[in-house]
């Protein structure tokens, strides 16, 4: 693959009204990033290596919901009456925000590859430490403090997967065939998160059946310890990974911060707001779904049955995510997001209205199906597309930081949601309203999110990354920035090397004479 591409200003007829409204002058790109000489595996494996680490996000974030349920059972007084009951399931989100901002900066300024390696190692170390958490003198309070601390640093590693992994995955899709790029990105980012969700629901059921409820102290540690396996399995692939072509070509060495802010602040605000709304609902629902099912099933139901129904519930993430991967290529990420989140809001209102009939032990199957459809539509819409949109609506030079900020604001939404949902339920006048109110809130926000996406997000096509890089370069040049300094080997450095080589060849010729 060559490092060069050309941009030709084209004022000819624009294929779509949407694209025409987005830019009055559309650059026609002749890009040779699509490397047809490589095998399919050769073109796809970099996307896998970069994006599949988000499986750890899905597993490690969702498994804590079941661990939280077990800790409530083991320590009904010490745990429930301590700050840990809120901190343990939520603190990883705070670490994730730190990781997203930190690794967003590092991945742009230094390296996509080594940012990925660092986040992978952090995940391995702190997933293991979380499983082996032990308090001072063996006290429960010490255990809760240790687990909270390890979960925070685990969150930093999870956060690193977003700006380093997803961004590099998006850039690596440039080598894939047009019309298939969005689906491959989604398959190895959001679908991986959802597979992690499903495994995080299935593992507790199996582990509790194996250990029985008499050995829950060992069970929750095994659940957390399994989280070491996914990042460990990616180490080799990531070690072989090379920096994406776009990154080596477009990276900056000096950042005109004010110019960048003026160029992207509106777009970043829209993407961040949509991500905040989505994570506010989806992570809170994910963490507390096991507890809600236990309420629906009644207190007499065994713990493994609650986890089993939670597994069925989480399986609904998968069809929505898989279908959404193709819909994103067919109609574009913006329309796919708006469609999915609007339908999710409609189903949420229906579920809230029928909650008193659904939330009974005899109707648990209906509860799971309707709730599952609600979750599935969320994956078809923002779940699949918000990361894709964040990856493709900024230039390569600032993509890690842009994505990291948007994802961090999303995780702030998740962090807020895990605190707000219990408050909403606690202040409800009766048990039925305690179940209804979270769905009313989430559904209202979903509908608002759909209109924001439909009217405020830009057009996103198969070549948006390359087009956006060209647009950003033109903007920088217009404002006096020297774009010849961009790239891993800036033009000035290349010219100096060429001059040195020319001088050497001339001196050798003189010697021969």
CB 287 within 8 A of CB 417: no
Provide the pLDDT for residue 435. 78
Cα–Cα dist 460/404, whole Å: 19
Q: 467-483 in b/e burial notation, b at 16+ Cβ within 10 A? A: bbbbbbbebbeeeebeb
CA-to-CA separations, 48 to 1, 5, 166, 185, 326, in angstroms, rounded:
20, 25, 10, 9, 17
Q: What average pLDDT does this structure show over 70-82? A: 88
Q: Round to whole Å and give the CA distance between 120 and 54.
A: 10
Higher pLDDT, 56 or 398: 398
Rounded mean pLDDT of the chain? 82
What's the CA gap between 344 and 375, in Å, rounded? 7
**pLDDT band at residue 14 under the 50/70/90 scheme:** very low
Q: How many CB atoms lie within 10 A of CB 121?
A: 15
**Under DSSP, is residue 41 helix (H, G, I), strand (E, B) or coil?**
helix
Find all residues with CB under 8 Å of 287, minimum gap 6, and list them: 61, 62, 64, 65, 68, 89, 418
Arithmetic mean of pLDDT, 344-373: 82
Dump pLDDT digits (tens) for 341-351. Answer: 999 999 989 88
CA dist., res. 396 & res. 378, Å (int): 28
Confidence at 57, pLDDT banded by 50, 70, 90 = confident
Instruction: For residues 222 and 130, give the distance between their C-alpha atoms in angstroms, rounded to a whole number.
Output: 10
Do residues 123 and 56 lie in contact, with contact meaning Cβ atoms separated by under 8 Å?
yes
Mean pLDDT of 122-135: 93
Residue 274's pLDDT band, with cuts at 50, 70 and 90, is very high
HSE-CB of 486 using CA atoms within 13 angstroms? 25
Instruction: Give the confidence band of 407 by pLDDT, cuts at 50, 70, 90.
Output: very high
Specify burial of residue 105 (Cβ count, 10 A radius: 0-12, 13-18, 19+). middle
φ, ψ dihedrals at 439, nearest 5°: -75, -35
> Where is 8: in which H helix or E strand?
strand 6-10
Confidence of residue 1 (pLDDT cuts 50, 70, 90): very low
pLDDT(134) > 70: yes
Rounded Cα gap, residues 157 and 452, in angstroms? 31
Q: Does residue 45 register a pLDDT over 90?
A: no
* pLDDT band at residue 166 using 50, 70 and 90 as cut-offs: confident
In the chain, what is the straight-line distance between the N-terminal and C-terminal CA atoms, in Å? 39
Rounded Cα–Cα distance for residues 234 and 126 (Å): 16
The least confident of 214-228, 443-457, 487-501 is 487-501
Return the closest-CA partner of residue 387 out of 200, 197, 238, 182: 182
DSSP state of 181: H
Neighbouring CB atoms inside 10 A of 437's CB total 18
pLDDT attached to residue 384 = 94
Q: What is the 3-state secondary structure (H, E, C) of 309-371?
A: HHHHHHHCHHHHHHHHHHHHHHHCHHHHHHHHHHHHHHHHHHHHHCHHHHCCHHHHHHHHHHH
Q: What is the pLDDT of residues 215-267, one digit of tens each?
A: 999 999 999 999 999 889 888 888 888 888 888 889 998 899 999 999 999 99
For each of the domains in the chain, give its residue range(s) and CATH number, in order of start: 35-476 (1.20.1250.20)
Confidence (pTM): 0.81
The answer for residues whose C-beta is within 8 angstroms of residue 368's C-beta and 6 or more apart is 293, 309, 312, 313
Q: According to the model, what pLDDT value does residue 270 have?
A: 97
What pLDDT, on a 0 to 100 scale, did the predictor assign at position 290?
56
Tokens 């080598």, located at residue: 175
Let me know if 363 is exposed, middle or buried by CB neighbors in 10 A (0-12, 13-18, 19+): middle
Pairwise CA distance, residues 450 & 480, whole Å: 38
pLDDT category at 471 given cuts 50, 70, 90 is very high
Burial of 6 (0-12, 13-18, 19+ CB in 10 A): exposed
- For the cut 60, the answer to whether the pLDDT of residue 13 exceeds it is no
Instruction: Provide the percentage of residues in the chain whose pLDDT is more than 90.
Output: 39
Q: Picking from 39-43, 138-142, 161-165, 422-426, which range would have the lowest pLDDT averaged per residue?
A: 39-43
Query: Can you tell me the mean pLDDT for 102-121?
Result: 91
Predicted pLDDT at 503: 62
The whole-angstrom separation of Cα 171 and Cα 286 is 30
* Separation CA 203–CA 67 (nearest Å): 11
Whose CA is closest to 391, among 156, 54, 90, 120? 54
| Residue linked to tokens 């507790």 | 204
CA distances from 492 to 79, 467, 484 (A): 62, 24, 7
pLDDT at position 32 over 80: no
Q: What's the CA gap between 342 and 444, in Å, rounded?
A: 10
> How high is the pLDDT of residue 26?
40
The burial class, CB within 10 Å (0-12 / 13-18 / 19+), for 77 is exposed
8 Å CB contact between 216 and 362: no
The full DSSP string for 370-428 is HHHHHHHHHIIIIIHHHHHHHHHSS-GGGHHHHHHHHHHHHHHHHHHHHHHHHHHHHTS
């Amino acid at each position: 693959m060559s490092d060069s591409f050309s941009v030709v200003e084209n004022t000819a007829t624009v294929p779509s009204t949407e694209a025409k409204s987005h830019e009055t002058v559309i650059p026609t790109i002749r890009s040779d990033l699509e490397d047809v000489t490589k095998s399919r595996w050769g073109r796809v494996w970099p996307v896998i290596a970069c994006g599949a680490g988000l499986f750890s996000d899905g597993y490690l974030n969702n498994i804590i919901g079941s661990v939280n349920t077990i800790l409530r059972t083991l320590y009904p007084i010490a745990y429930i009456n301590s700050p840990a009951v809120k901190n343990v399931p939520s603190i990883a989100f705070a670490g994730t925000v730190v990781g997203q901002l930190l690794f967003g900066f590092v991945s742009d300024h230094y390296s996509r590859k080594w940012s990925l390696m660092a986040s992978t190692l952090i995940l391995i170390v702190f997933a293991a430490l979380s499983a082996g958490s032990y308090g001072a003198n063996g006290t429960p309070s010490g255990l809760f403090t240790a687990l909270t601390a390890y979960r925070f640093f685990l969150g930093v590693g999870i956060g690193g997967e977003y700006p380093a992994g997803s961004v590099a995955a998006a850039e690596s899709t440039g080598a894939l065939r047009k019309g298939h790029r969005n689906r491959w990105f989604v398959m190895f980012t959001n679908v991986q998160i959802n597979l992690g969700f499903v495994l995080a629901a299935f593992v507790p059921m199996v582990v509790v059946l194996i250990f029985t409820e008499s050995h829950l102290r060992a069970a929750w540690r095994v659940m957390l310890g399994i989280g070491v396996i996914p990042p460990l399995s990616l180490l080799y692939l990531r070690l072989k990974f090379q920096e994406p072509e776009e990154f080596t070509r477009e990276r900056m060495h000096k950042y005109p911060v004010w110019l960048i802010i003026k160029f992207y602040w509106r777009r970043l605000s829209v993407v961040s707001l949509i991500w905040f709304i989505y994570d506010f609902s989806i992570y809170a629902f994910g963490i507390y779904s096991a507890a809600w099912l236990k309420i629906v099933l009644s207190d007499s139901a065994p713990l493994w049955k609650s986890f089993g129904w939670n597994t069925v519930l989480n399986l609904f993430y998968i069809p929505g995510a898989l279908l959404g991967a193709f819909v994103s290529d067919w109609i574009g990420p913006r329309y796919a997001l708006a469609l999915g989140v609007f339908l999710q809001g409609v189903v949420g209102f229906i579920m809230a209205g029928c909650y008193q009939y659904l939330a009974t032990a005899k109707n648990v199957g209906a509860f799971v199906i309707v709730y599952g459809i609600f979750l599935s539509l969320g994956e078809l819409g923002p779940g699949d597309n918000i990361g894709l949109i964040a990856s493709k609506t900024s230039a390569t030079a600032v993509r890690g930081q842009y994505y990291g900020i948007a994802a961090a604001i999303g995780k702030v939404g998740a962090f807020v949601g895990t605190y707000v949902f219990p408050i909403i339920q606690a202040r409800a006048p009766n048990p039925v309203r305690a179940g209804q109110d979270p769905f009313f809130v989430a559904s209202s926000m979903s509908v608002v999110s759909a209109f924001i996406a439909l009217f405020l997000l830009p057009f996103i096509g198969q070549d948006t990354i390359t087009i956006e890089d060209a647009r950003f370069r033109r903007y920088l040049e217009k404002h006096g920035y020297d774009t010849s300094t961009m790239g891993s080997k800036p033009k000035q450095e290349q010219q100096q090397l060429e001059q040195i080589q020319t001088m050497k060849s001339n001196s050798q010729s003189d010697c021969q004479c």
